[in-house]
Amino acid sequence: MQNIIATHKYLLPLIVGLLIGSCNTTEPVVRHESIHGKSVETIVEMMTLSEKVGQMTQAGRNYLVKEKDIKDYYLGSLLSGGGSAPRNNEPSSWADMLDGYQAVAAETRLGIPLMYGIDAIHGHNNVVGATIFPHNIGLGATGNAVLVEEIARITAKEVRATGINWTFDPCVANSRDERWGRAYESYGEDPALISALGRAQVEGYQGASLSSPEAIAACTKHYIGDGAPTWGTGSGGNIDRGDAQISEAELRYLHLPPYLAAIQAETATIMASYNSWNGLKLHGHKYLMTDLLKGELGYEGFIISDWAAIDELPGNYKSDIIESINAGVDMVMVPGNTSGSGSSYRDFIKKLKQAVNEGSIEMSRIDDAVTRILNVKKRMGLLDALYSNDRSLIASVGSSEHRAVARQAVRESVVMLKNEGVLPLSKDLATIVVAGRGADNVGMQCGGWSIAWQGGMGNITPGTTVLDGIQAAVSPSTQVIHSPDGLAAANGDAVIVVVGEAPYAEGHGDRDDLSLSNEDISVLNRVQASGKPMVVILLSGRPMIISDIVEASDAFLAAWLPGTEGNGITDVIFGDYNPSGKLSVTWPTGMSQIPINLGDSNYSPLFPVGFGLSF
């Protein structure tokens, strides 16, 4: 790829641009120029309106009309949404795809490389074979910022192996309602814990230098109050993308500190949130984005919109563009078709240029946005050297060393809620029965945002299930019986039952009833009726309604959504690791208590924040 770029560096002038001067719509021929070694200020002065607007545009790679549009529209960024992968979803195919896109970007007049974004939110979770770590709610239970930073460093390495240089993470939401379908993307309900772990992830992703070949740009999200909406104000009458009906004092106390911590860690980017604050959508909220974030907090990176999120502003698409850019959004994620005809990034670019030429958006606002974007690209080393992708990193994707860290994260995240002297189990029991739909299910362990946007059940990617971990841990003389329906429970000296939530993401996970499924309850009842010691493992993205089940069990472990390394759970079951996880969220007794958070006036949960037993 370097040869391709080097060749284009010395091409004779070929490209005609539009010199806007003072927003003029006609301009003379401009020449192919090198930007290497030039200041951002100089580069911005060199740019045409078309080039500036292109840098402010992020298109979805699966919505590209043709790859040549990267060049023709001077696109500054592409992304892969959940499930948007090359035909062969393996690291080398991703790297080939990215090299191709960067080669096209190199053909533009200024040859500015792309920022390519992806939701690598618990490992490089879109790529088959990558290491998938516990979701944030599990990491919150570890309380281990050093471990979280190491996880982010490993994730960055695996992401860079595929040619990608930007992750839409960390999510520093303070989830205030367990019914929210994104609750597992939150570390917990304590702003100090969220701040510490969010900062650790930023530092892990970006490393000592953002220009390192193993570093990626972080995107702290979703600014702001995404976990605070009132039930019934969101999409479909639920909570996701709803209205945070809270005071500014509460917003600042519970939801702002993680962003200050991320800014102190020099997060490259911040993503605006879908939600509203007291009736006004965040993507049009100038006070929160420009006055507070960029002004009061001094944020110098750039703000990117969420997936087609400006479309949710009131008015038509052009007014959405004007409102969001003037409010402080610097780069707009325009992944799909917003106009009903053609491609949305083409429509966005056309209407943004019209708005500038009409004076609805000042050129100074455009220059500010482009300067912020190019400053980040300069920190990433994208403006000062030929783009290159280190293929030697591919061998690290899903490596045993990385999986060992994931296994450590799993065992540190497990919270033991009950133990009546049953755990740790002996590895020398004659027979262990393993029941429940989650016992041999990597997809259920991983949850949403795993290979596909909503995740999926079954063998979605290589990993170790709970059943695998049990079989590997016990002595050769122990018989392990896999009985998903629990019918074989009477044959065991002990029964391990793995139940919980099927995978989901975002609004699809909003639920007004957090009870276990009828299938799970039937298995649990069957096992309980056997009279054998029952160890329950719950795979979930949030606290579930389990009061009766905890009472009926002999031991109960909250394992959250642990990812690909289920043997971290069995490390706890058999006593190879003394459980240390502590609840970072409040566990309700029933639906009538939800929402419930530490500090509520009538705080009497099933388990409080900080609860967690050890042997």
**pLDDT digits 0-9 by tens, 176-229:** 999 999 999 999 999 999 999 999 999 999 999 999 999 999 999 999 999 999
HSE of 535 in the Cβ direction (CA atoms, 13 Å)? Answer: 26
Rounded Cα gap, residues 560 and 304, in angstroms: 30
Whether 138 and 185 have beta carbons less than 8 Å apart is answered as no
Q: Give the chain's domain count.
A: 2
Cβ neighbours of residue 435 closer than 8 Å, sequence gap 6 or more? 483, 484, 485, 486, 488, 489, 495, 496, 497, 498, 523, 526, 527
Question: Of 292, 273, 175, 278, nearest to 223 (Cα)?
Answer: 273
Give the N- to C-terminal CA distance of the chain in Å, as an integer. Answer: 55
Q: Are residues 343 and 443 in the same domain?
A: no
What is the pLDDT at residue 34? 85
What's the chain's Rg over C-alpha atoms? 25
Rounded Cα gap, residues 241 and 233, in angstroms: 8
Single-letter code of the amino acid located at 405: V
Rounded Cα gap, residues 508 and 493, in angstroms: 39
**Residue by residue, what is the 3-state secondary structure of 492-521?**
CCEEEEEEECCCCCHHHHCCCCCECCHHHH
Residue 368 lies in a domain: yes
Sign of the alpha-carbon dihedral angle for 352, 356, 359, 363:
positive
Question: Of 569, 510, 511, 513, nearest to 538 (Cα)?
Answer: 569
Cα–Cα distances (Å) from 79 to 60, 101, 226, 322, 338, in that order, read 5, 11, 22, 23, 17
Q: Are residues 296 and 437 in the same domain?
A: no
Give all strands (DSSP E) within 269-373, no chain letters. 269-272, 276-277, 280-281, 302-304, 332-333
Cα–Cα distances (Å) from 238 to 312, 449, 588, in that order, read 16, 20, 19
What is the pLDDT at residue 550? 98
Residue 604 lies in a domain: no
For residue 517, give the CATH number of its domain: 3.40.50.1700
Residue 83 structure tokens? 């499930």
Residue 614 lies in a domain: no
Q: Are residues 388 and 456 in the same domain?
A: no
Residue 601, number of CB atoms within 10 A of its CB:
4
What is the pLDDT at residue 582? 98
Residue 357, number of CB atoms within 10 A of its CB:
15
Q: Are residues 323 and 200 in the same domain?
A: yes
What is the pLDDT at residue 33? 81
Whether 428 and 421 have beta carbons less than 8 Å apart is answered as no
Rounded Cα gap, residues 478 and 481, in angstroms: 10
Cα–Cα distances (Å) from 108 to 20, 21, 70, 102, 112, in that order, read 18, 20, 8, 10, 7
Q: Are residues 376 and 434 in the same domain?
A: no
Q: Are residues 10 and 51 in the same domain?
A: yes
Q: Are residues 324 and 222 in the same domain?
A: yes
Looking at the DSSP assignment, which residues form a beta bridge with residue 433? 481, 495
Q: Are residues 292 and 389 in the same domain?
A: yes
Q: Is 576 helix (H, G, I), strand (E, B) or coil?
A: coil
What is the pLDDT at residue 343? 55
What is the pLDDT at residue 342? 39
The sheet with strand 534-539 has its strands ordered as: 415-419, 555-560, 534-539, 494-500, 431-435, 479-482
Q: The domain containing residue 500 runs over which residues?
A: 414-593
Whether 100 and 67 have beta carbons less than 8 Å apart is answered as yes
306 is catalytic: yes
Residue 65 lies in a domain: yes
Q: Are residues 272 and 208 in the same domain?
A: yes
HSE of 327 in the Cβ direction (CA atoms, 13 Å)? Answer: 24
Q: Are residues 170 and 264 in the same domain?
A: yes
Residue 481 DSSP class: E
Whether 565 and 400 have beta carbons less than 8 Å apart is answered as no
Whether 220 and 185 have beta carbons less than 8 Å apart is answered as no
Element holding 196 (H helix, E strand): helix 191-206
Residue 608 lies in a domain: no
Residue 602 lies in a domain: no
Cα–Cα distances (Å) from 530 to 487, 516, 547, in that order, read 9, 20, 20
Q: Out of 69, 190, 306, 440, which one is annotated catalytic?
A: 306
Looking at the DSSP assignment, which residues form a beta bridge with residue 281? 276
Whether 272 and 320 have beta carbons less than 8 Å apart is answered as no
Residue 226 lies in a domain: yes
Element holding 551 (H helix, E strand): helix 547-552
Residue 601 lies in a domain: no
Residue 610, number of CB atoms within 10 A of its CB:
12
Q: Are residues 364 and 240 in the same domain?
A: yes
Q: Across the 615 residues of the chain, what is the mean pLDDT of every consecutive 10-residue run? A: 35 32 40 86 98 98 94 98 95 97 97 98 98 98 98 98 98 98 98 98 98 98 98 95 98 98 98 98 98 98 97 95 98 76 80 98 98 98 88 97 98 99 98 98 98 98 98 98 98 98 97 98 98 98 98 98 98 98 98 97 97 98
Sign of the alpha-carbon dihedral angle for 306, 311, 312, 313:
positive
Question: Of 121, 101, 96, nearest to 112 (Cα)?
Answer: 101
Q: Is 3 helix (H, G, I), strand (E, B) or coil?
A: helix
Q: Are residues 182 and 42 in the same domain?
A: yes
Cα–Cα distances (Å) from 266 to 3, 192, 263, in that order, read 33, 18, 5
What is the pLDDT at residue 237? 92
Looking at the DSSP assignment, which residues form a beta bridge with residue 277? 244, 280
Rounded Cα gap, residues 539 and 558, in angstroms: 7
Q: Which of 394, 425, 441 is the last residue of a domain?
A: 394
Residue 547, number of CB atoms within 10 A of its CB:
12
